[in-house]
């Protein structure tokens, strides 16, 4: 027996245009650097969503304590909205939920977001909770695997929430290109999933006609020799990202063997994959994946669209790509789906999912 994603919901703070961010703040912040301007223009991002628009409020000098207080204030309502939407999409009630898992690398407080949401969502007092912190952009997929294991073992529905508020970590002005890249890419988002046992009978959800996605298998690879290529350090002035330009080169070495092995042990090969949900860490990341897997140009259209409309939202991003694939009809015919995400370690995670053909009748 396996677990299936039967509901998905997203919540986004206000959107801001990428050019407006440059003109309103980052041009001044980076001293009108031509290199910084080229990085912003070439990021593949048209707009992002942010709880803290730097053109309106400059957080770059805030202490980490002040940023964490802001995280606590902003995260709860956004997470609540995303989970409520996912539960409505799945036709799930608070009493159905046996586990709430919250993923975030952008803020912490105790009692934490998991406890706040359990209360605001009116989950049962015996609902189990899990908080996954500071894993970075790939965290949605190991969390998905853990939640699916719970669903299969306990035969209870579960919720997974990925919530990232990267805008709270604007760093002081610098000429470091790595910092420019991170400030050009990252945005805020909350995305939640509801998972159920694949064979569980549930009431039809009136709000959705989306297919359920069965989680088939998960693969991971970490290359510790490149651990300094991507970092997320806690400083006195928020969390500071290190992002080496060598990341795509390392990814190029590992992505094909990992994906080929994941597919082969499930009797599949690359041409069998119906759709790709690849974390858009940036344009070079997507170009590398497409080249190494020999994919047609349109294969990563959903990932590029999410990058353009949302930026890189850390752990929430790959779930936004899955949402895009579900919403645009790509999965109507059903078939295998591969989701991939990358992050500190360097770590690559890949998940094999299976979409049933439409029309989909909930079990």
Distance (Å) of CA 197 to CA 6, 191, 215: 10, 20, 10
Question: Do residues 230 and 136 lie in contact, with contact meaning Cβ atoms separated by under 8 Å?
Answer: yes
CA distance 259 to 349: 9
CA distance 346 to 225: 8
Question: Do residues 218 and 142 lie in contact, with contact meaning Cβ atoms separated by under 8 Å?
Answer: yes
Residue 204, domain member (yes or no): no
The predicted-structure confidence for 4-30, as pLDDT tens digits, reads as follows 999 999 999 999 999 999 999 999 999
CA distance 214 to 355: 6
- Domain C-terminal end among 171, 197, 223: 197
Q: Provide the number of structural domains found in the chain.
A: 2
Same domain, 175 and 240: no
Q: What is the CATH classification number for the domain harbouring 107?
A: 3.40.47.10
* pLDDT at position 199: 78
Residue 205, domain member (yes or no): no
Tokens of 187: 């945005």
CA distance 93 to 97: 7
The predicted-structure confidence for 194-214, as pLDDT tens digits, reads as follows 999 987 755 554 445 455 899
Active site members: 137
Alpha carbon 331 to chain centroid, angstroms: 19
Q: Which residues contact 271 (CB under 8 A, 6 or more apart)?
A: none
Alpha carbon 258 to chain centroid, angstroms: 20
Residue 207, domain member (yes or no): no
Same domain, 147 and 242: no
Same domain, 226 and 189: no
Distance (Å) of CA 109 to CA 19, 75, 76, 112, 281: 33, 11, 11, 5, 27
* pLDDT at position 1: 78
Same domain, 29 and 95: yes
Same domain, 52 and 177: yes
Question: Do residues 143 and 132 lie in contact, with contact meaning Cβ atoms separated by under 8 Å?
Answer: yes
Q: What is the largest CA-CA distance in the chain?
A: 59
Same domain, 119 and 66: yes
Tokens of 219: 């693969």
Parts of the chain with a pLDDT under 50: 205-207, 209, 360-363
Predicted model pTM: 0.95
* pLDDT at position 201: 55
* Rg (the chain; Cα; Å): 20
Residue among 204, 211, 215 at smallest CA distance from 360: 211
* pLDDT at position 202: 57
Q: Which domain holds residue 318?
A: 213-355
The predicted-structure confidence for 108-163, as pLDDT tens digits, reads as follows 999 999 999 999 999 999 999 999 999 999 999 999 999 999 999 999 999 999 99
């Amino acid at each position: 027996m396996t677990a299936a994603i039967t509901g998905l919901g997203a919540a986004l703070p206000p959107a801001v245009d990428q050019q407006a961010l440059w003109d309103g703040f980052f041009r001044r912040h980076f001293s009108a650097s031509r290199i910084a301007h080229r990085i912003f223009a070439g990021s593949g991002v048209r707009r992002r969503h942010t709880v803290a628009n730097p053109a309106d409020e400059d957080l770059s000098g805030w202490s980490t304590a002040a940023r964490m207080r802001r995280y606590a204030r902003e995260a709860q309502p956004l997470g609540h909205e995303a989970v409520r939407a996912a539960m409505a999409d799945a036709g799930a009630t608070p009493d159905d939920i046996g586990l709430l898992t919250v993923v975030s690398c952008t803020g912490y407080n105790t009692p934490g977001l998991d406890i706040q949401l359990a209360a605001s969502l009116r989950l049962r007092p015996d609902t189990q909770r899990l908080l996954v912190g500071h894993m970075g952009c790939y965290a949605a997929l190991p969390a998905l695997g853990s939640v699916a294991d719970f669903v299969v073992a306990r035969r209870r529905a579960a919720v997974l929430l990925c919530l990232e508020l990267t805008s709270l970590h604007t760093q002081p002005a610098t000429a470091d290109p790595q910092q420019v890249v991170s400030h050009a890419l990252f945005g805020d988002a909350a995305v939640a999933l509801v998972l159920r046992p694949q064979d569980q009978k549930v009431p039809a959800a009136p709000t959705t006609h989306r297919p359920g996605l069965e989680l088939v298998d998960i693969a991971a690879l970490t290359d510790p020799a490149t651990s300094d290529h991507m970092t997320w350090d806690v400083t006195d002035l928020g969390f500071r990202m290190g992002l080496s330009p060598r990341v795509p080169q390392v990814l190029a070495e590992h992505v094909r063997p990992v994906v080929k092995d994941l597919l082969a042990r499930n009797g599949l090969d690359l041409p069998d994959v119906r759709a790709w949900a690849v974390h858009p860490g940036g344009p070079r990341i997507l170009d590398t994946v497409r080249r190494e897997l020999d994919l047609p140009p349109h294969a990563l259209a959903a990932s590029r669209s999410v990058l353009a409309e949302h930026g890189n939202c850390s752990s929430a991003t790959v779930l936004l790509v899955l949402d895009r694939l579900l919403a645009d009809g790509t999965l109507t015919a059903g078939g295998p789906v591969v989701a991939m995400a990358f992050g500190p370690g360097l770590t690559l995670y890949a998940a094999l999912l299976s979409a049933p053909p439409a029309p989909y009748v909930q079990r």
